[in-house]
Amino acid sequence: MFMLLATLIVIYLRLDIGKLKVDLTEKITIHLPFSTYLGGITIASIANVATTLVSINWDGFGINPEAWASLIIIVALLISLIVTVNKKDVAFGLVIVWAFTGIAAAQIANPKIIMLTQISAIIALLVLIATIVINKLLQK
């Protein structure tokens, strides 16, 4: 999984997604698929690390599971915000919003996690909207 993540990061950076001006066809056929794929693999990598730690009965240094889940969600949000703002990559950010929605749906029995994922999704969505608006204003 991490080799795939590393490969996608290299491709993403070499394509200069979000920084290089390309026509709409290239944006839709090349940049958009790599952005969404990288966003999905980023979230999957974070989830796989968390799942592996749970499966080996890692005690989390004595910190309760909800706090660790919150930390993991915050890390995913920060990664999303960095990519979305620096690369102006809305597609990557939307994948993260979609993942947060899935996390909230899966954690329906845990209101603390649901609230955190909803707040994270709203923050990510607001940053995406702000990024789009700022990009449009700067293009004029």
Helix H or strand E encompassing 77: helix 65-87
Q: What digits encode the pLDDT tens for the residues 13-25?
A: 999 998 878 899 9
pLDDT reported for residue 12? 95
CB of 15 within 8 A of CB of 31? yes
- 3-class DSSP state of 29: helix
Residue 140 pLDDT greater than 70, yes or no: no
Domain positions in the chain are: 2-139
pTM: 0.81
Q: What digits encode the pLDDT tens for the residues 54-66?
A: 899 888 788 887 7
